[in-house]
A and B are shown apart, each in its own frame.
Chain A
Amino acid sequence: MINSSVDRAAKATPPPFARRVRGLSDRAIAWIFVAPTIFLLLAINIFPLIWTIQLSFTNYKANRIGREIKDVGLRNYERILTDTDIWLNMQATAHFLFWTIFFQVLIGFTLAWLINRKFKGNDLWTTIIVLPMMLSPAVVGNFWKFLYQPQIGLFNYIVTFFTGGDASSFEMLGSVNLAPWSIVIVDTWMWTPFVMLICLAGLRSIPDYIYEAAEIDRASKLRQFFTITIPMVLPFLMLAVLFRGIENFKMFDLVVQLTGGGPGSITELTSINLKREAFEKWRTGYASAYAIILFVTVFGLASIYVKALNKVKER
């Protein structure tokens, strides 16, 4: 997607205007207009990244300012990659990613498919469905924690009402088995609308004449669904998965508020673990190496994925 949009941007770049030089040249104006943005991005994004790389080879601790900074080479990286706890966090993150994306794609696509029927008032209901994704994940996470409370929470009440279980023994956030699902539920509630909107855009991009042609060929509705609808929406769906994947790999606010990584460390996703290393244990060098490993992982997975996505689009 990224590559192709860049291609499109390049094609859209026009030949220069007939030049009426008055004061500054176009080239000068262009640079004056772009420079502040580039400068800010260098200062806020690129410079910190380079600094993180540099710190990752040291034993620096940000809370001890006077301490001598020693170069430790690749030791931080070695320790992270051999630490079994970190692999558990990675595993938790992978599970979280898998299930959230699974549910969000399933429900999001279904909703988009239904909404595409253009029934009366679908604009209103779509807007209501979209609301959760516009809200603050931290505030929302905090409130879901209230809904999940064993004795007083609405969620628990509803679940135990329908299943007939004992409310006090049913603890979404306190149980090792259920706590990861509590995050999956909230994340799905928040972000299904996002997948839905992108799928809707995909469905609306399919021209009617394809279905009309299929109808003339007497293809069944089911067949049309699998040979037209699904393949045409697939690039959009994959785009949605990419965005959700990157976002959920970085997931922090919602989980901090909901479970704080607990019980134990069962919901301690990588970014929560990273925060703990960097801002609670103050192992800045170590945390920097960890950050770089995570960043390289996202970047690597994302670029492989984008390649696959472009292949699907070319078909």
Chain B
Amino acid sequence: MSGFSVTEPTPRSKRIAATLVVLYALITMIPLLWIFMTGFKSPSDAIAYPPKVVFDPTLEGYVNLFTTRTRQTQEYLDANPPETWYEEIVRQYDMTVVGPSKFGERFFNSIIIGFGSTFLSVFLGTLAAYAFSRFRITFADDLLFFILSTRMMPPVAVAIPIFLMYRQLGLSDTHLGMILLYTGVNISLAVWLLKGFIDEIPREYEEAALIDGYTRFQAFYKVVLPQAATGIASTAIFCLIFAWNEYAFAVLLTSATAQTAPPFIPTIIGVGGLDWPAVAAGATIFLLPVMIFTILLRKHLLRGITFGAVRK
């Protein structure tokens, strides 16, 4: 740092700023920490008043999440010996397995639909973004605006005709249907983000490749794609986060086979109401990947959120 700058904040104002920001960040963290902690509480600790900060951690919530247990009478336990290994384990804790929980299945659906639609939107989005970035396309502006405007529609409004359409096509409550739907929602984001990234790759690279005798396709995947790799990766994460978190379409258009985790987690019922430790355990498992992605990707956050329209 050379010389004196009037725009450099004073140490004192930095200290005050840091204190306030840290304070806000800590308040923000409380609900997240509470979700995490509740996942390791016993049902009685979870609903204790005043709320328990110190407690005996237990994995009961996680076990419940995957097996749906309820406490049984001694007669029931005597009459029904454990049948599988996990029943055996659970029985040691004086409980019994009622039936397998659907959480694993729903979580798996989230993975299939999330990654499937992410792959498709990034794949199609990259092609379209490349074309918009490198070729002269008739009505390019109008097409780009059209692509962006599709994001303004409220999901519940689109859900009515999609529901009817999918019923006719046999796509309702299928993985393919949800993948296509989320791709349709995500593709505008993918095209706009990726166009920004590809615009920044000097076109001389491709021209050189073309002169070396590459075809246009070869130049695209041997020169442009590797250059755009970071951009493609961060676009993929944004698409994945959307598909991962989506609730409205999932709750309206799926039920038995293709339901993802967000509509399912709030329905985990225990004895006399929601089984909060199991709900918290499910939420923790579900939220953790996104939190990790966010931390890894923090450098790209700003561009993703503002469609790349905001440059530093």
Q: Residues of A at under 8 Å CB distance from B?
A: 1-2, 5-7, 9-10, 12-18, 20, 22-24, 26-27, 29-34, 36-38, 40-41, 43-49, 51-52, 55, 62, 107, 111, 114-115, 117-123, 125-132, 134-140, 142-144, 146-147, 149, 151-154, 157, 167, 189, 194, 197-198, 200-202, 204-205, 208, 211-212, 215, 236, 239, 246, 249-250, 252-253, 256-257, 271, 274-275, 278-279, 284, 287-288, 291-292, 294-295, 298-299, 302
In the complex, residue of chain B having the shortest beta-carbon distance to the beta carbon of A271: B156
In the complex, residue of chain A having the shortest beta-carbon distance to the beta carbon of B309: A5
In the complex, how many residues of chain B place their beta carbon closer than 8 angstroms to a beta carbon of chain A? 115
Q: How far is the CA of A228 from the CA of B261 in the complex (A)?
A: 47
Is the CB–CB distance between B34 and A154 below 8 Å?
yes
Q: How far is the CA of A203 from the CA of B144 in the complex (A)?
A: 28
Is the CB–CB distance between A146 and B38 below 8 Å?
yes
Q: Find chain B residues with CB under 8 A from A236 CB.
A: 310
Q: Which of the segments B79-87, B96-104, B121-129 contacts the partner chain? A: B121-129
Is the CB–CB distance between B51 and A136 below 8 Å?
no
Q: How far is the CB of B3 from chain A (nearest CB, A)?
A: 12
Is the CB–CB distance between A246 and B152 below 8 Å?
yes
Q: How far is the CA of A295 from the CA of B185 in the complex (A)?
A: 16
Q: Can you give 28 contacting A-B residue pairs, CB < 8 Å?
A: A10-B141, A17-B134, A17-B203, A17-B206, A23-B215, A29-B135, A34-B137, A34-B143, A38-B128, A44-B158, A44-B180, A51-B161, A119-B14, A128-B29, A130-B298, A131-B294, A134-B291, A134-B293, A134-B294, A139-B245, A146-B38, A154-B31, A250-B156, A275-B156, A279-B159, A288-B160, A288-B161, A291-B157
Q: Residues of B at under 8 Å CB distance from A?
A: 5-7, 9, 13-15, 17-18, 20-22, 24-25, 28-32, 34-35, 38, 46-51, 124-125, 127-128, 130-137, 140-141, 143-148, 150, 152-165, 180-181, 183-185, 187-188, 191, 195, 199, 203, 206-207, 210-211, 215-217, 241, 244-245, 247-248, 251-252, 261-263, 265-266, 274, 276, 279-280, 283, 286-287, 290-291, 293-295, 298, 301-302, 305-307, 309-312
The 6 A-B residue pairs with the shortest CB-CB distance in the complex, in nearest-first order: A44-B184, A291-B157, A138-B247, A253-B247, A48-B161, A33-B131
